[in-house]
Amino acid sequence: SNRKMIEFFDRFAEVCFKRYKDKVKYWMTFNEINNQTDWPDPHPLLQNSGLQIDKNDNWEEEMFQAAHYEFVASADAVQIAHRIDPSLQVGSMIAMCPIYPLTSKPADIMKAERAMQYRYYFGDVQSLGFYPEWIQKYWARKGYNLDILASDLATIKAGTVDYVGFSYYMSFATKAHEGETHFDYDEHDDLVSNPYVEKSDWGWQIDPVGLRYAMNWMTTRWHKPLFIVENGFGAYDKVEDDGSIHDPYRIQYFHDHILQMEKAVKEDGVRLLGYTPWGHID
């Protein structure tokens, strides 16, 4: 939450770019930067922004402030990399869990829309180069007074990412509360079970079609090539006497997700870095 961190990160990034520019062509600045929208949980705040916040502080406001400094540092890093070697590609890294409305009830639709805005405004800033209108209204309603300089906004505009890296494991679902008017999203309390998808042993919703939906949503919104950098399946695996693990459920998970990935590329025109078509998948 200290502005000095921007300079520290810039120096760190420059050292990395110069040292490894001949070995590494694809870079990402902040891993799963948007998970900190679950700010009532101290873990993502520490993981994503190095924040350890006093219980008397406003955790959400601190999250927005730290994220802003990350946006400026990320935009600086993009420009530093391009100066060192124009062929270097610097991307964002989004934890993508598309959020569906539980029903077609208009209030649920609006709740899901606000949830997607809130969880993925990070991608708006890093890919499009500006803060969306709704979030500025949100800050004003909350009375937040963030340290955002005109020069910061110019940097963010000049340093948009070259691609969007993302993780995808599952989708979410949400519904509006009775009498809700602002539809503010609280990831800690507002997620509900989706009855139309299976779940893993950990309760994570298994949704291969959600990957295709997410790839289309990000492409339409951010207009950047995509890079899948995390995907997988956790389960309570059984180790056999010979040391082997038979996990057809994991094979099925990857099969179904790869199939939807191919559909997004071949049928929908999504640009995917690192993609090599393997032909038909049975």
For residue 33, what are the CA distances in angstroms to 21, 49, 182? 24, 8, 25
Active site residue 240: no
Which of these is catalytic: 14, 32, 70, 267?
Answer: 32
Amino acid at residue number 276? T
Angle at 21 between CA 19 and CA 27, to 5 degrees: 105
* Nearest CA-CA partner of 30 in 67, 61, 3: 67
Which of these is catalytic: 178, 230, 262, 267?
Answer: 230
Q: How far apart are CA 33 and CA 52, in angstroms?
A: 16
Is the Cβ–Cβ distance between 217 and 269 less than 8 Å?
Answer: no
Active site residue 230: yes
Q: Which residues are catalytic?
A: 32, 230
